Amino acid sequence: MEFIIIFVVSAFFLLLVGCAMAFGKSPSYRPTREYVLKLIKGIEDQSTTQQAWDMLIGYPINHDPELENIRRWLVSMHEGTDGFDPAREGINGYIYDKQSRHRLKAVIDQLEKLIKESPITKEF
The answer to the question of residue 108 being in a domain is yes
Residue 49 belongs to some domain of the structure: yes
What band does 88 get if pLDDT is binned at 50, 70 and 90?
Answer: confident
Q: Is the pLDDT of residue 120 over 80?
A: no
Which H helix or E strand runs over 50? Answer: helix 50-58
User: Domain for residue 50, yes or no?
Assistant: yes
Determine, yes or no, domain membership for 65. yes
121 vs 92, which has greater pLDDT? Answer: 92
Among 51, 55, 57, residue whose Cα is nearest residue 100:
57
Q: Which domain holds residue 104?
A: 33-117
Grade residue 123 by pLDDT with cuts at 50, 70 and 90.
low
- Give pLDDT tens digits for 53-62: 999 999 999 8
pLDDT tens digits, 3-37: 999 999 999 999 999 998 888 887 778 899 999 99
Q: What is the number of domains present in the chain?
A: 1
